[in-house]
Amino acid sequence: MSWALLSVFIPTFFFVSVTPGMCMTLAMTLGMSIGVKRALWMMLGELTGVGLVATLSALGVAALLLNYPTVFRLFKFAGGLYLLYLGIQMWLSKGKMALQAERAGQHAGQLQLISQGFLTAIANPKGWAFFVALLPPFLTPDQPLAGQLISLIAIILTLEFCCLLIYASGGNTLRSRLLKSGNIRLINRFAGTLMAGVGGWLAVG
C-alpha cells in the first residue's frame, strides 16, 4: 500500500473509531467499574471481533450477511438483553462488576469480559457496513490480497486499541475522582446506566 493511501486511511479510520459508539461506551463503562487493567480483557475480545469483521468484510461475506439480517438481529437482541441486565445489576449495586462500599469490587471473569467485547463488536451492523464501504477502496487488485489485508487490519486494530484505551482511561479517571468523594453508589449507577444504554442500543439499534 502506498504512503498516499495510508495518509488517507489512518486519519479516516481514527476519526471513525474515536467517535462515541457501542464499543467505546463499553470501554468507558468498564474503565469506570473495574479499571483499565481489567478492561483489557474486554478489549481483547473487541479487537478479535473487529479483526474478524474487517476480514470478512474485505472478503465479501459481510455483503451477504447484510442482505440477511436475521443473524444480526439474534446477536443484537441476545447481547443487548445481557448487557441491559448487567447494567441494571450495576445500577442496583449488585453483580460482579458493581463496586462495593467495603472493597474495590468483585470483578467479572476474564472469559465473560472477552465475550462481551467480542459480541459487541460482531453484533454491530454499522460496523460491518462501515468496513464494507471503507476497505475496498484501499485494496489494490494487482497486489496480493493477503498482504494488504494484514497491513490494513494491523493498522485498524492498533488505532482501535488506542481509542479503547482513551475511553477506558477516561472512565477510570472519573471513577477515581468519585471514589475520593466516597460516592460509590453514584459510580455504580452512572456505569450501570451506560451499560444499560449500550444494551438497549445493541438490542434495538
Alpha carbon 197 to its chain centroid, in Å, reads 14
What's the pLDDT band for 2 if we cut at 50, 70, 90? low
pLDDT(51) > 60: yes
**What pLDDT is attached to residue 175?**
78
Domain of 12 in residue numbering reads as 3-204
pLDDT tens digit string along 124-143? 776 777 787 777 767 776 77
pLDDT(83) > 90: no
pLDDT(105) > 50: no
Instruction: Of 35-39, 61-65, 144-148, 183-187, give the range with the top mean pLDDT.
Output: 35-39
pLDDT average, residue stretch 54-77: 69
pTM here is 0.75
pLDDT tens digit string along 150-159? 888 999 999 9
Write phi, then psi, for 100 (nearest 5 degrees).
Answer: -105, 150
pLDDT average, residue stretch 10-32: 83
- Count of domains observed in the chain: 1
| DSSP secondary structure of 134-186 | HSGGG--TTS-HHHHHHHHHHHHHHHHHHHHHHHHHHHHHHHHHHHHTT-HHH
